[in-house]
Structure 1
Amino acid sequence: MDKPLILVVDDEKDVADDLAETIADTKKYQVLQASSGEQALQIIEERNKGMLKRDKNKVKLVLLDIRMPGMDGIQTLEKINEIDNKIGIIMVTAYDLEEYWMKSMIGSEAMAFVTKPYDNNKVIQLIDDFFGGKEKEIAQRYLNYFWQQPLIDQLKEVEAKVKSLEQEQKKID
């Protein structure tokens, strides 16, 4: 049986190597790496549109770092969708997600996010879910999380401010 092909795109070699090794260790997937958005597009163009376009050679899923020099992850994601909009995208980031999440989830249909440092088991579960036909469930789960989490964080901030004000009031009284 042919193993699905996953492309890991990250400008940090150690991170890309670790992620690729984690995926390869499952023995369920083939893994390629790219160190830039431009290199990723070249690989996808060759494999999904070029001479090697037999299904087993196509990139099916991309784990894509958001912040990279040159073409960033959002720009790369948009170009990937132009080449082949059937490729699944999981964004990988160590940074604040809100602005990037909104751009990519709504505008370009990234299906999920993984935050560095990531839990290897969760990454593999996301990949397994994607190849098990659960990509819409994954997208909805992350959509719910990212809409709810900012509200939860704001509520915690308000609660902390209220406690602080109550303590100040007690000092005054």
Structure 2
Amino acid sequence: MKKKVLIVDDQNGIRILLMEVFNSEGYTTFQAANGKLALEIMRTESPDLVLLDMKIPGMDGLEILKHLKEIDPAIKVIMMTAYGELDMIKEATNLGALMHFTKPFDIDEMRVAVNMHLYAKQADQCS
């Protein structure tokens, strides 16, 4: 079964870029421009991994992360931020985010990280 990746970012260009990259990697991708939609997709599609922007109008990344973890405590989340807000990044890590990327990020590094985390999950299930 294909792994599912949810991309949450208020910037359309970033969502499209990431969807193209991860579709070409063979993943099923979903996108959300805001927290409300992200949480709906989380409940209906149960993605394996979420790429989550820190700064989203309405509900910020930390708030979305808290809700994602309430829905599925085991969800893998990688944060994205355009800012070097170390306190927010630290809080996101404390809330269970795996890692973060600062924009503009290296798309190959992100691809490798997503593959690594999704593959690690598969390896855990096999052992």
Q: TM-score, length-normalised on structure 1? A: 0.67
Give 2:68's match in structure 1, choosing from 77, 80, 84.
80
- Structure 2 match to 1:45: 43
For residues 41 and 91 of structure 1, the distance between their equivalents in structure 2, rounded to whole angstroms, comes to 16
State which structure, 1 or 2, has the greater radius of gyration over its C-alpha atoms. 1
Q: TM-score, length-normalised on structure 2? A: 0.91
Determine if the alignment matches structure 1 residue 115 to structure 2 residue 102.
Answer: yes
- Structure 2 match to 1:32: 30
User: Percent identity between the aligned chains?
Assistant: 33
Work out whether residues 60 and 86 of structure 1, in 8 Å CA contact, stay in contact via their aligned partners in 2. no
The number of equivalent residue pairs is 121
- Structure 1 match to 2:77: 89
Work out whether residues 8 and 15 of structure 2, in 8 Å CA contact, stay in contact via their aligned partners in 1. yes
Would you tell me which structure has more helix in proportion to its own residues? 1
Would you tell me which structure has more strand in proportion to its own residues? 2
What residue identity is the alignment partner of 1:101?
I
- Structure 1 match to 2:19: 20
Deviations 1:43-86 (A, max 9, x none): 11222xxxxxxxxxx21100000001000000000000000111
SS of match in other structure, 1:132: helix
Note the residue ranges of structure 2 that are not aligned, 5 or more in a row: 122-127
Over the aligned positions, Cα root-mean-square deviation in angstroms equals 1.1
Deviation of 1:14 (Å): 0.7
SS of match in other structure, 1:16: helix
- Structure 1 match to 2:124: none
Deviation of 1:114 (Å): 1.1
Give 1:128's match in structure 2, choosing from 100, 104, 115.
115
For residues 81 and 49 of structure 2, the distance between their equivalents in structure 1, rounded to whole angstroms, comes to 16
SS of match in other structure, 1:59: coil
Work out whether residues 84 and 102 of structure 2, in 8 Å CA contact, stay in contact via their aligned partners in 1. no
